[in-house]
Amino acid sequence: MNIEAKIRNIILQALRELYHCNDALSESLIQVEMTRPDIEGDYTVVVFPLLRFSRKSPADTGDELGRYLKNNVPEILSYQVIKGFVNLRLDNFYWISFLNEITENKDFWMTNPIGKQDTIMIEFSSPNTNKPLHLGHIRNNLIGNSLSLILKSIGNTVIKSNLVNDRGIHICKSMLAYIRFGHGETPESIGRKGDHLVGDYYVKFDQEYKKEVNDLTRLGMSEEEAANKAPLMQEAREMLRLWESNDPDTRKLWQQMNGWVYKGFAETYDRLGISFDITDYESETYHLGKQLVIAGLSDGLFSRDTDGSVWVDLTGEGLDKKILLRSDGTSVYITQDIGTANYRFNNHKPDKLIYVVGNEQNYHFQVLALIMKKLGYDWADQLYHLSYGMVELPSGRMKSREGTVVDADDIIDEMIDTAAKISAELGKLNELNEDDKTRIIKTIALGALKYFILKVDPKKNMTFIPEESIDFNGNTGPFIQYTFARICSVLRKAEDLNIITGHISVQQLPLNKRETGLIKLAHSFRSVVSDSASDMNPALIANFCYELAREYNQFYHDYPVIKEENEDYRKFRLNLSAAVASILRSGMGLLGIEMPEKM
């Protein structure tokens, strides 16, 4: 049992013994938290909520509780009551033995699953195949990937799933523009990455289409009508019909262009260090769900309009009516998701299905969950939409069609260039060979990018400021990587000098504020991971790693490690440094960020 839980238990016992309160409800009134750093102590009990039991002043109650705790919890060395807060100080032996525990088990953090062992399917990435990935997709991928790692680390079985949106009018737009303006060029012939090439034609379509709409409105047509009647749009629709009717030429071009895109995506995923256990294609799954809707219709859950379209009425749930099948009997977006959700629960039997999808889809997923419930699936409650916020630019939203996006490949390149430049300036990698140098620079660049994205609460929108965001100082990935590399360097030196590390046999060692601060942070790592899993929020881990790194740097600045002359102290500080490094690697690892041993 951890010390915090122990303290809570003893308080409960104290309340019973001192104030004869048997109230089970009192448990929720017991507040035990970590003591603020500027106040003497390790854990703090808030006494105000307990006054109703003691019917005494905060000072007297605090004093009685403090004394009781000190007498009944051997780890507690002393207590001090300040303004209604009992600040408890733990005996150093507790911290030293905790550090020993970490030191003796190298994989202390990773070999202790602390969560429920569920099978969790997590869908993320799910790109459209008509354009390359941009910063928004990077956020999606990083959150999905990190969340997978976090959930896995606490003992769940995780299935990473990607549903590629490979069909639809948007792809037809790229295809059409390519036929019109492409002159048969290929990624190889012009040396352009496939996803970018296809994206170029998507933008091209939009430009030409806008011209047509402008021309038509100038001739007196309303904007709405012009948007509908523009020849390019009509042709794109025709192409979608041809695709759906399996027209060989259309399918051939579709396969060719999608192939280019997949090759491009694979490269970007690879650079980001992202992989999937399952990749599904919407062209193969989009027909799923239709039967479920028809079955629901005959069960009277849905209704058919006079034109043949099928609807669900969610006004009772505070939402609107939603179309489930078009009047021509074809599926819409939500129909597909009904089908794929069912398909997934049938085939993979997950306990939970998490969709990592932008918050613009909140309504969609609300509707999806309600429909699944109406259809009577008991797993409807296990659908979870991890709704993440948009990445915006100072100028506003990114729009692929208008080319106002921060491209994924570009930003990665830029980060690598910057990392290389800074490394060259600092000259610390000079004696390494080119391969190692390149690898480390890449690690730093991606660390910076990933950390930058993941340190922000996924739920919140974030603003990307190009000039300021590519930073390698302060609250950044490289700062944490640097701290790690620094510790590695110290540990290497200690090994070279044959300094003995390992179990500390002494029970007592006067520890300074930095040292206890570091151990306390280390102590809380596990609960941070567990919180980040239950909140589905990698940012908690990111911010924890930053805090730990900062605390370590302060310690490192103030106190010698190898050069400490007292042998016990030196050993202790080396163990502490090793523990910090191991937590940093584990924590950052959960964000999908690698840690360089030199930088």
Partner RNA sequence: GGUCCAGUAGCUCAGGGGAUAGAGCAACAGCCUUCUAAGCUGUGGGUCGCAGGUUCGAUUCCUGCCUGGAUCACCA
Please give the residues from 320 up to 349 whose contact with RNA meets the rule CB under 7 A: 320, 322-323, 326-328, 332-333, 336
Q: In the set 103, 125, 128, 148, which binds RNA (CB under 7 A)?
A: 128
Q: In the set 275, 489, 508, 566, which binds RNA (CB under 7 A)?
A: 489
Q: In the set 178, 482, 525, 569, which binds RNA (CB under 7 A)?
A: 482
Distances (CA, A) of 422 to 275, 436, 446, 470, 517: 30, 16, 14, 12, 32
* Subset of 491-520 contacting RNA (CB under 7 A): 493
The reply to whether 471 sits near RNA by the rule CB under 7 A is yes
Strands (E), 421-569: 462-463
Going by their DSSP bridges, the two strands 310-313 and 303-304 should be labelled as antiparallel
Phi then psi for residue 112, to 5 deg, are -125, 75
- Distance in Å, CB of 288 to RNA, minimum: 13
Phi then psi for residue 303, to 5 deg, are -135, 150
- Distance in Å, CB of 188 to RNA, minimum: 29
DSSP 219-271: TT--HHHHHHH-HHHHHHHHHHHHHHTT-HHHHHHHHHHHHHHHHHHHHHHHH
The reply to whether 390 sits near RNA by the rule CB under 7 A is yes
Q: In the set 56, 67, 192, 428, which binds RNA (CB under 7 A)?
A: 428
The reply to whether 557 sits near RNA by the rule CB under 7 A is yes
- Distance in Å, CB of 191 to RNA, minimum: 30
- Distance in Å, CB of 148 to RNA, minimum: 20
- Distance in Å, CB of 231 to RNA, minimum: 18
**408 vs 101: CA distance, rounded Å:** 42
Q: In the set 16, 550, 568, 589, which binds RNA (CB under 7 A)?
A: 550
Distances (CA, A) of 396 to 202, 300, 401, 487, 538: 21, 45, 14, 41, 25
- Distance in Å, CB of 128 to RNA, minimum: 6
Phi then psi for residue 439, to 5 deg, are -65, -45
Which range in 38-46, 134-142, 224-232, 583-591 contacts RNA by CB under 7 A? 38-46
Burial label for 376, CB within 10 Å (0-12, 13-18, 19+), is exposed
Contact 1, 63 (CB under 8 A): no
Size of the site for RNA (CB under 7 A): 94
The reply to whether 150 sits near RNA by the rule CB under 7 A is no
Gyration radius of the chain over CA positions: 30
Q: In the set 192, 397, 439, 526, which binds RNA (CB under 7 A)?
A: 397
Contact 340, 367 (CB under 8 A): no
Distances (CA, A) of 360 to 71, 367, 386, 459, 553: 56, 13, 12, 11, 41
Which range in 44-52, 93-101, 104-112, 582-590 contacts RNA by CB under 7 A? 44-52
The reply to whether 553 sits near RNA by the rule CB under 7 A is yes
Which range in 61-69, 103-111, 115-123, 558-566 contacts RNA by CB under 7 A? 558-566
Which range in 64-72, 179-187, 221-229, 303-311 contacts RNA by CB under 7 A? 303-311
* Subset of 405-424 contacting RNA (CB under 7 A): 419, 422-423
* Subset of 352-371 contacting RNA (CB under 7 A): 359-364
Which range in 258-266, 408-416, 504-512, 543-551 contacts RNA by CB under 7 A? 543-551
Here the tokens at position 240 are: 């979608």
- Distance in Å, CB of 286 to RNA, minimum: 7
What one-letter code names the amino acid at 598?
Answer: K
* Closest to 45 in 3D by CA, of 59, 58, 30: 30
* Subset of 193-212 contacting RNA (CB under 7 A): none
Residue window 246-285: x/- pattern of binding to RNA, with contact defined by CB under 7 A = ------------------------------------x---
Output DSSP code: residue 323. Answer: E
DSSP 268-299: HHHHHT---SEEEEHHHHTTTTHHHHHHHHHT
- Nearer to RNA by Cβ, of 158 and 591: the residue is 591
Output DSSP code: residue 121. Answer: E
Per DSSP, the three-state class of 384 is strand
Q: In the set 103, 543, 582, 586, which binds RNA (CB under 7 A)?
A: 543
Here the tokens at position 403 are: 């080319």
The reply to whether 85 sits near RNA by the rule CB under 7 A is yes
- Nearer to RNA by Cβ, of 253 and 595: the residue is 595
* Subset of 215-244 contacting RNA (CB under 7 A): none
Phi then psi for residue 45, to 5 deg, are -105, 130
| Dihedral sign, Cα of residue 229, residue 326, residue 174, residue 272 | positive
Q: In the set 465, 502, 506, 567, which binds RNA (CB under 7 A)?
A: 465
- Distance in Å, CB of 599 to RNA, minimum: 4
- Distance in Å, CB of 106 to RNA, minimum: 20
- Nearer to RNA by Cβ, of 106 and 493: the residue is 493
